[in-house]
Chains A and B, each alone.
Chain A
């Protein structure tokens, strides 16, 4: 009841986006840490993949949790987006940005692009029929990554998508704090810097893999 009333307001919806944003950000970090095991070689990465699958119910809980977070994040975003469209029915002949960053103004572009990318990514490296599996039916993650990224087109797509992820995070990370009401003249500038740095590290870490494949595995 209370949650429903909270969700009714724009502030509540933003809080939901912040809370789900935190979960998704956590996932992005975890995913990156998993990805970076690529550099430990085929054994390590494939073992990591197998171990994840051994989690069983826990894995499903995580997957469902993430799915719920994604759906909430998207539905709140879509609802707010519609409200915001209604709030300005007639457009300016000329509108100039006076103080906002490009990344912050384009969240409604980078977001949907990332959603599309996630679909592609799941097909490309998790679910697709083209993927290689070992005798026990576990995916051969390392081999699939190398095979997948050997296609410059696919690698290029990942690199572009990661840039969008970077932009989304650059604004999203500090925006989470603002949405739930944490803003302080002493810490907020720091948080904004950390957001940019974190986003850059995540992008660099993720992009490094297709780049490495293209450079060293041909």
Chain B
């Protein structure tokens, strides 16, 4: 089938970009979207043109590297699916599509469809962990975890950090990403000791990275390839409000002696 792509081409972060039109005359319906871009790139290189830069790696929908806006929808039209798992059978012969990078202040474009998502790592650095040094863990079965809690934690932990939530949000909010981690750890008994401090640090970090605010509209949930629900955002809100209210400044009394 024939597919027409209007792809955002931008040489580097400082130069302006623009949409460039490419016509792909024979696309197989069994190809994945990225395989179609591979074919386009092979073609461009044969002609001596700069291939389209896009990020990808596992091509199984789990590493979170890939992500493009396809016709204005993050990861394209199939719900619960990353671009690498989107197959061309979901498109029609003659479709004309617009491909753009994620756009957000916190995700500057590096080249073409590739953006810098390191802000996500910094949000995790702010508190997206349980402070337990290697070797100091009790037996794995020492603390029972109710199955429903483990399942809910797993639902949230499924986040692949692709950034589609930010891309789709009109406010470029990272609430779903942050909330997924806050919920994952907050729902497990192991995550309780640091729960208040974690949510405060992570929310503050999310704000400091200049992501926008959540207006509860649900675009993020709709495009999330792992279908993480905005219920997690509510949990983050609740934890944050509770933590702000009850948070005590650290005691300045010195600890122990000698």
Tell whether, in the assembled complex, residue B213 and residue A184 are in contact, meaning their CB atoms are under 8 Å apart: no
CB closest residue in chain A, given B19: A93
Contact residues in B for A183 (Cβ distance below 8 Å): 230-231, 233-235
Tell whether, in the assembled complex, residue A181 and residue B237 are in contact, meaning their CB atoms are under 8 Å apart: yes
**A contact face: mostly helix, strand, loop, or mixed:** helix
Tell whether, in the assembled complex, residue A99 and residue B171 are in contact, meaning their CB atoms are under 8 Å apart: no
Instruction: Number of A interface residues at 8 Å Cβ cutoff, please give it.
Output: 46
Tell whether, in the assembled complex, residue B231 and residue A104 are in contact, meaning their CB atoms are under 8 Å apart: no
In this complex, the member of A92, A177, A180 whose beta carbon has the largest number of chain B beta carbons within 10 angstroms is A92
A10 to B237, CA, bound (A): 10
**A–B complex contacts, Cβ < 8 Å, 10 sampled:** A9-B203, A10-B213, A83-B212, A93-B6, A93-B98, A96-B72, A107-B215, A181-B239, A182-B234, A188-B231
Asked if B153 is at the interface (CB within 8 A of a chain A CB), the reply is: no
Tell whether, in the assembled complex, residue A88 and residue B221 are in contact, meaning their CB atoms are under 8 Å apart: no
Asked if A54 is at the interface (CB within 8 A of a chain B CB), the reply is: no
Q: Contact mask B235-256 → A, CB, 8 Å, 1/0?
A: 1111111001101000000000
Contact residues in B for A97 (Cβ distance below 8 Å): 219
CB closest residue in chain A, given B69: A92
Known: A87-B105, A97-B219, A99-B218. A178 touches B19 (CB 8 A): no
Tell whether, in the assembled complex, residue A181 and residue B241 are in contact, meaning their CB atoms are under 8 Å apart: yes
Tell whether, in the assembled complex, residue A6 and residue B244 are in contact, meaning their CB atoms are under 8 Å apart: yes
Instruction: Number of B interface residues at 8 Å Cβ cutoff, please give it.
Output: 52
A91 to B172, CA, bound (A): 11
Q: Contact mask B202-238 → A, CB, 8 Å, 1/0?
A: 0110110011111111110111000001110111111
Contact residues in A for B105 (Cβ distance below 8 Å): 86-89
Q: Which 4 A-B pairs have the closest CB atoms?
A: A99-B222, A181-B238, A183-B234, A87-B212
Tell whether, in the assembled complex, residue A104 and residue B172 are in contact, meaning their CB atoms are under 8 Å apart: no
Min CB–CB distance B34 → chain A (angstroms): 20
Tell whether, in the assembled complex, residue B237 and residue A11 are in contact, meaning their CB atoms are under 8 Å apart: yes
Min CB–CB distance B148 → chain A (angstroms): 12
Contact residues in B for A218 (Cβ distance below 8 Å): none
A179 to B173, CA, bound (A): 14
Asked if A168 is at the interface (CB within 8 A of a chain B CB), the reply is: no
Contact residues in B for A86 (Cβ distance below 8 Å): 105, 210, 212
A84 to B171, CA, bound (A): 5
A87 to B212, CA, bound (A): 5
Contact residues in A for B214 (Cβ distance below 8 Å): 10-11, 14
Asked if A53 is at the interface (CB within 8 A of a chain B CB), the reply is: no
Contact residues in A for B6 (Cβ distance below 8 Å): 93
Tell whether, in the assembled complex, residue A98 and residue B170 are in contact, meaning their CB atoms are under 8 Å apart: no
A183 to B218, CA, bound (A): 13
Residues B77-103 near A (CB distance < 8 A) = 79, 98, 100, 103
Asked if B54 is at the interface (CB within 8 A of a chain A CB), the reply is: no
Tell whether, in the assembled complex, residue B100 and residue A80 are in contact, meaning their CB atoms are under 8 Å apart: no
CB closest residue in chain B, given A106: B217
Q: Contact mask B19-46 → A, CB, 8 Å, 1/0?
A: 1000000000000000000000000000
Asked if A15 is at the interface (CB within 8 A of a chain B CB), the reply is: yes
Tell whether, in the assembled complex, residue B216 and residue A104 are in contact, meaning their CB atoms are under 8 Å apart: yes
Tell whether, in the assembled complex, residue B171 and residue A180 are in contact, meaning their CB atoms are under 8 Å apart: no
Min CB–CB distance A6 → chain B (angstroms): 5
CB closest residue in chain B, given A178: B216
Min CB–CB distance B121 → chain A (angstroms): 18
A181 to B229, CA, bound (A): 13
In this complex, the member of A6, A8, A99 whose beta carbon has the largest number of chain B beta carbons within 10 angstroms is A99
Min CB–CB distance A176 → chain B (angstroms): 9
A125 to B170, CA, bound (A): 37
A96 to B77, CA, bound (A): 10
Tell whether, in the assembled complex, residue A90 and residue B217 are in contact, meaning their CB atoms are under 8 Å apart: no
Contact residues in B for A181 (Cβ distance below 8 Å): 234-241
Contact residues in B for A175 (Cβ distance below 8 Å): 215-216
Tell whether, in the assembled complex, residue B216 and residue A94 are in contact, meaning their CB atoms are under 8 Å apart: no
Tell whether, in the assembled complex, residue A12 and residue B244 are in contact, meaning their CB atoms are under 8 Å apart: yes
Contact residues in B for A184 (Cβ distance below 8 Å): 231
Tell whether, in the assembled complex, residue B244 and residue A93 are in contact, meaning their CB atoms are under 8 Å apart: no
Min CB–CB distance A149 → chain B (angstroms): 34
